Structure 1
Amino acid sequence: MNMSETERRNAIYSVLAALALVLVIVLAGCGSDTKKSAEKVDENEVYEFNFPNVPWSDPVYIAAEKGFFAKHGLKVNFTGYLANINDIVTNVASGNFPFACQHASTLAVGISNGYPIKAIAAGWGTSAEKPMLRFLTLKDSGINNLDDLRGHKIAIPTPTELEWLEAKDKLNFKDGDVDETVISYEKMDGALLSHQVDAVMLINPFSDRLLTNESVKQIGTLVDIVGEEKGWPQQFVNTAFLEKNPEIVKRYVAAIADANDWARANPDEAGLVIAKALNVDPSQGALYNPVFPEHALIDKSDADLWVRISGKYGLLARPVSLDELYTNQYNPYNKGGR
């Protein structure tokens, strides 16, 4: 069923209201945790911290496995998956975790709602060879490019998914041109292969895994919509912790930079490391090797892109500046930029 603009606006307002409410509840219920995370820690000792697992490729797994956290006096404890990706942001905001990773747009939405968070490193990029997101269909669908989606049913993860909203705008799709159905990433492969939908918009590694099926083909990628990206804001920190412990943050960013650069130089082994961390078949390691940004430096144009897109579609409760969203100040490779 296609979603009207009124329904989409209502969905956006619901997202904003839910984020604001969750923040109030989490911060009110975790006051002692927030205070604890904001305390200054002994910089002369190994700093041990908890980190929520994520089901995608990430340099934290490499930093842990290849000893880069240990090199910089850090020790990470992976705590398992949270129920919802938004829980990652709220748990960092509340002080349950000092660090975590999430997409720039989600961080911008959180900051606009008062979340005390800031991006400090880039963990992902996207290129034509290794896109973060692919549009896939069956080879016999008759759909050969993105424009051919008119009159067909596509699976999207949420009605406010920015990549899809931007794709619709670029392709000049109007209400009713495409039948949109909301399906989780984990279930999109089954929906496509069983002909419940005609196409899917799917992120890596789900997209790359589905593309190995001989009956599936690609009709477009995120690069077709927003271009290539060197590295968007992704690794982020609780700002109270940042203020109290800038040296620990520097060590964390240095470890992430080392992990990214090692992964760039050793892509095959990087995929195997991440496959192991995510408990998937090592034979699929190549699917878990995205674009790792050089030195983990956040690219200003990529940050600006996602803030602009988030605002364009009404997801921000208030405008968010780039200074609020991210900094490269704690990166050892920063040459005096933001």
Structure 2
Amino acid sequence: MGQSIMHRSIRGTASLLAALLAGAGILAGCGAQTGATTAAQAAAAAGPTTEAKKAAPLKLKIADINTNPNFRVAASQGFFAKHGIDAEIVTFATPAEGINSLFIKQTDVAFGADFPILNAVSKGEYSIIASTGIYDDQSAAQWRLLVGPGVKKAEDLKGKKLSNFRGTFVSYLWDKYLAEHNVSLKDVNVIGQGGFDEAYVALKKGEVDAVWLAGSTLLDKFLAIEGVHQLTDMSQTRVRVGSSIIVPNTLLKEHPAEAAELLKAVEEAAQYIKSHPDETAELLYKEVKQPKDAVLKDLPYTVWTVGFAKEAIDSFNKQKAYMVENGIIKEDFDLKTKISLDAVKKALPDRVTYQP
């Protein structure tokens, strides 16, 4: 069995159980008469009322990245608040970093590609609650391989230094791409990096020779480096991945209704983005300084379709098999036990077309 890039370059994250922030408590007032007291006790036993939920929304810290519009729109346009969620957006360099933040209870909700999602659920008590989409050929084409002046074809990567973002699916992409072009891992030097800023500096200094990246802003920035050019894109490979939302099991156990409301808010944000692209671009420029023209170019590929289809489970199974085979996942597990679709079934029943 060959040794994968992930096995060689990714350091495992210690498994910790993530707990959700304490939910809102409901205080039931007592009347002066016995009947009033009994009614209050009955109401308390029945659980929070709709009005009480609105008065005390559930506080959630949500892991995000600068180029994802879905969570920011849900927060800024009041969709989270409408659905009883007091959301705080916490920004990371990559979705994988956001997922890792669940381990130390820094956040309560995260999203990312199949690889970091599978890595997380294999190590702790977390569940995949919905898919946000699967890459088709057009979406896959947004991931480009940029290389330095000494690389004209895939075979030229022999002896070169390759940028690899730790904990992300880029490791899987490198493995598959190199194998398709008969380039051995023994013939390349994989450089683990934490994000695109680090990769940019390294490519500019000649410390790496090739970088996978996505997004119009990054593409323009990297192509401005002298001699750097695009070699190919992911649509020219056999790699297709999905993206999903992950939460601690404690959230589903303690706040199942709010988990569904969270997904409703994200879906409303997605619909807003589709009908208000200019406003969305303005928001991302205002909050995280993303150039408006770049946001508009990328919106068709960054807006989510929340649900769960057979393509999602197929993508998970393919990457899980790879990760187990290459020792990335140390102990195999039943994927079905890590997928909980109750929230998305309640929020968007028509979008759940496959039950694993």
Cα deviations across residues 258-298 of structure 1 (Å, max 9, x unaligned)? Answer: 22343345555444433433233445434653343424446
When residues 242 and 107 of structure 1 are mapped into structure 2, their CA distance, relative to the original with a 3 A threshold, is same
**Are the counterparts in 2 of residues 122 and 232 from structure 1 also a CA contact under 8 Å?**
yes
5 Å-filtered alignment, 1:74-93, equals 74-78=85-89, 80-81=90-91, 88-89=98-99, 91-93=101-103
5 Å-filtered alignment, 1:26-41, equals 27=17, 36=22
When residues 158 and 316 of structure 1 are mapped into structure 2, their CA distance, relative to the original with a 3 A threshold, is same
Match of 1:126 in 2: 135
RMSD value, Cα = 3.7
The Cα of 1:67 is off from its aligned counterpart by 2.9
When residues 9 and 67 of structure 1 are mapped into structure 2, their CA distance, relative to the original with a 3 A threshold, is closer
The Cα of 1:83 is off from its aligned counterpart by 9.1
Number of residues of Structure 1 aligned to a counterpart in Structure 2: 317
Do residues 210 (structure 1) and 210 (structure 2) align?
Answer: no
Match of 1:68 in 2: 79
2:160 partner amino acid: H
When residues 7 and 297 of structure 1 are mapped into structure 2, their CA distance, relative to the original with a 3 A threshold, is closer
5 Å-filtered alignment, 1:1-338, equals 5=3, 9=7, 15-16=11-12, 18-20=13-15, 23=16, 27=17, 36=22, 42=48, 44=50, 45-46=53-54, 47-58=57-68, 59-78=70-89, 80-81=90-91, 88-89=98-99, 91-93=101-103, 97-113=107-123, 115-123=124-132, 125-131=134-140, 133-138=143-148, 141-158=149-166, 161-184=171-194, 185-204=196-215, 207-211=218-222, 213=224, 215=226, 216-229=228-241, 231-233=242-244, 235-267=245-277, 269-286=279-296, 289=299, 290-297=301-308, 299-331=312-344, 332=348, 333-335=350-352, 337-338=354-355
Cα deviations across residues 53-88 of structure 1 (Å, max 9, x unaligned)? Answer: 43343321121123322332323123x446996664
Cα deviations across residues 206-241 of structure 1 (Å, max 9, x unaligned)? Answer: 643435528542212233334445x432x1111122
Q: Distance in 2 between matches of 1:6 and 1:334?
A: 35
Q: Distance in 2 between matches of 1:159 and 1:69?
A: 29
| Aligned partner of residue 343 in structure 2, secondary structure | coil
**Are the counterparts in 1 of residues 162 and 209 from structure 2 also a CA contact under 8 Å?**
yes
User: Normalization by structure 1: what TM-score?
Assistant: 0.76
| Aligned partner of residue 323 in structure 1, secondary structure | helix
| Aligned partner of residue 144 in structure 2, secondary structure | strand
**Are the counterparts in 2 of residues 150 and 177 from structure 1 also a CA contact under 8 Å?**
yes
1:19 partner amino acid: A
When residues 99 and 325 of structure 1 are mapped into structure 2, their CA distance, relative to the original with a 3 A threshold, is same
**Are the counterparts in 2 of residues 275 and 288 from structure 1 also a CA contact under 8 Å?**
no
When residues 93 and 208 of structure 1 are mapped into structure 2, their CA distance, relative to the original with a 3 A threshold, is same
**Are the counterparts in 2 of residues 261 and 295 from structure 1 also a CA contact under 8 Å?**
no
**Are the counterparts in 2 of residues 51 and 76 from structure 1 also a CA contact under 8 Å?**
yes
| Aligned partner of residue 22 in structure 2, secondary structure | helix
| Aligned partner of residue 155 in structure 1, secondary structure | strand
Q: Distance in 2 between matches of 1:65 and 1:322?
A: 35
The Cα of 1:107 is off from its aligned counterpart by 2.2
Q: Distance in 1 between matches of 2:322 and 2:4?
A: 19
When residues 232 and 88 of structure 1 are mapped into structure 2, their CA distance, relative to the original with a 3 A threshold, is closer
1:150 partner amino acid: K
**Are the counterparts in 2 of residues 232 and 303 from structure 1 also a CA contact under 8 Å?**
no
When residues 266 and 326 of structure 1 are mapped into structure 2, their CA distance, relative to the original with a 3 A threshold, is farther
When residues 219 and 296 of structure 1 are mapped into structure 2, their CA distance, relative to the original with a 3 A threshold, is farther
Cα deviations across residues 141-194 of structure 1 (Å, max 9, x unaligned)? Answer: 253343432343322234983322333333332133223333442122232233
Task: Decide which structure has the larger Cα Rg and report it.
Answer: 2
The Cα of 1:335 is off from its aligned counterpart by 4.1
User: Normalization by structure 2: what TM-score?
Assistant: 0.72
Q: Distance in 2 between matches of 1:330 and 1:159?
A: 27
When residues 104 and 209 of structure 1 are mapped into structure 2, their CA distance, relative to the original with a 3 A threshold, is same
Q: Distance in 2 between matches of 1:246 and 1:8?
A: 35
Structure 2's unaligned 5+ residue stretches are 27-46
Q: Distance in 1 between matches of 2:25 and 2:327?
A: 36
**Are the counterparts in 2 of residues 72 and 255 from structure 1 also a CA contact under 8 Å?**
yes
